[in-house]
Amino acid sequence: MNSTSEEIRAIVGLYHLFANLLSEELNPHMRDILIQNEVLAVLSKAEPEVEKYLSGDWGPTEYEEAAVDFCDTFILPDSAIAPRAVAWLGENDFASAEGIHSVVEAFLKQGQITIPPSFAQLPYDHASLLFYMAATLRQIESEQAADFEQATLGSWINPFGRALQKAENPLYRALGHLIETA
């Protein structure tokens, strides 16, 4: 299936959004992107409470609360929703964290993708890195992108998205809806 350049740009934009929101807590730059009319409309359609969450003036207190939300959602408690394939793949799954690592490594060796410093320290099965690479491949070669996405995200990203839809934070619930429908 051939995608139009407009569809590719939309998917690339979503994938970059996913990559950034799953890699670090909300910061002023990312919030500025999220409150742009087009982006906020997409997020609000996925989760109506996100507009209220992102509205108003944000200061240090709000960003600190956003950092706590990020940690509570993705890192600290036993109920964290880990954005890594290893947390979602069972022993009998076709894909494995090692298999995903091999696919990522192979694509990186081809030299078509350069990983920015903000993603360089992430494990190869981290959703942020995988979405960043998928976005980059979509810009370069959509057929390779589809193969990459199937091999690295296909078997676990929808259950991850469904779990994220149950997060306390409306931004992460919206993200979960968008991940599942992307």
C-alpha dist (Å) from residue 132 to 98, 99, 113, 145: 19, 18, 10, 11
Question: Tokens in use for 123?
Answer: 């494990």
Average pLDDT value for the chain: 91
The third-level CATH classification (topology) of the domain covering 5-181 is TorD-like (1.10.3480)
pLDDT digits (tens, 9 = 90+) for 37-84: 999 999 999 999 999 999 999 999 999 999 999 999 999 878 899 999
Q: Can you give the pLDDT at residue 48?
A: 97
* Domain extents in the chain: 5-181
pTM: 0.92
Confidence of residue 1 (pLDDT cuts 50, 70, 90): very low
Residue (of 32, 48, 8) closest to 173 by Cα position: 48
